[in-house]
Amino acid sequence: MSNQHTPHIKATSADFAETVLMPGDPLRSKFVAENFLENARLVNNVRGIQGYTGTYRGVPVSVMASGMGMPSIGIYSYELYHFFGVESIIRIGSAGGLADDIQLRDVIIGMGACTNSAFQDQYKLNGNYAPIASFELLSRAVKEAEALGVRYKVGNLLSSDIFYHADPEFNQGWYKMGVLGVEMEAAALYMNAAAAGKKALAICTVSDHILRGEALDADQRQNTFTDMMKIALGVATSV
């Protein structure tokens, strides 16, 4: 733990709660702070990556954006885990649906995160690592979703390095392997958590269905994904 600023976070360890919710979009971070947290204060705004700390149900909770992609969440989650005393990070983001029974606005709780990224190469493992969530956080998330009556699925995500893939059939193999949805961050978060001995979970709202061509617009993605926010906040305060 350190009280020194990093190149990406201008704060101290006292500024962050032990659990941080992490959307990709800085405006979604602001939305959570303004609509769910009490006495929220801005604790970081380096490069426009807004981070806030307040309380929810009387428990300190932080929310800070990660930006898009594994390199970006890799930086922010590493610094939070290693330099700011954070124990758990819960990603709250969007995903493109793959499975047949996935609908727009469904919540996917990521038990695992496949990836086409080389992020794991840094660990010099003799094989391929399988990034998985914290079972403690995952089991709490399921309970919260059940209590809220939210439509959810638990299963595998694909964390892809590529948004506009040159191969139009790229997602078909993952679909056949039962992957529920595609996003761009969870695998790096899960690996950083494992390497640091910390906890991580990705809770994603389905913003579009990749194979059916269905999609929500940008405003809907930013402001209407409250179910996953409530689940994540419930997890953060159910210790």
Q: Which residues are catalytic?
A: 208
Alpha-carbon distance 119 to 191, whole Å?
Answer: 8
Three-state DSSP state, 28: helix
CB 112 within 8 A of CB 85: no
- Angstrom CA distances, 114 to 81, 105, 180, stand at 22, 22, 11
Backbone φ, ψ for residue 92 (5° rounding): -125, 100
Q: How many CA atoms lie within 13 A of 83 on its CB side?
A: 16
Residues 6+ apart with CB under 8 A from 120: 128, 129, 131, 191
Three-state DSSP state, 170: coil
Question: Which of 148, 133, 59 has the alpha carbon at shortest distance from 91?
Answer: 133
